[in-house]
Structure 1
Amino acid sequence: MELFFELEIVYIVIGIFILSITAIVTTRDFVPKGAFKKGMIGVGTFVVIMIALHYNVTTSRMEGVEEMFNSGKEIICENKMKRTVARSVILSKELGWRVEDHLFKNSDYERDFHTSRCIEWTNSNLKLEEEEKQKKETK
Structure 2
Amino acid sequence: MKQRNRFLFDMLDQDAPDARRDSIYRAGRPVCVHEQGIAAVVEIPFLKQEMKNLFLHPAKSEVSKSAELVVRLYGSSIVRLTIGGGNSISSDAHNPMLEWDPSLKQEALRPVGTESGWDFLDAHGKTRMRI
TM-score by length of 1: 0.24
TM-score by length of 2: 0.25
Query: Highest Rg: 1 or 2?
Result: 1
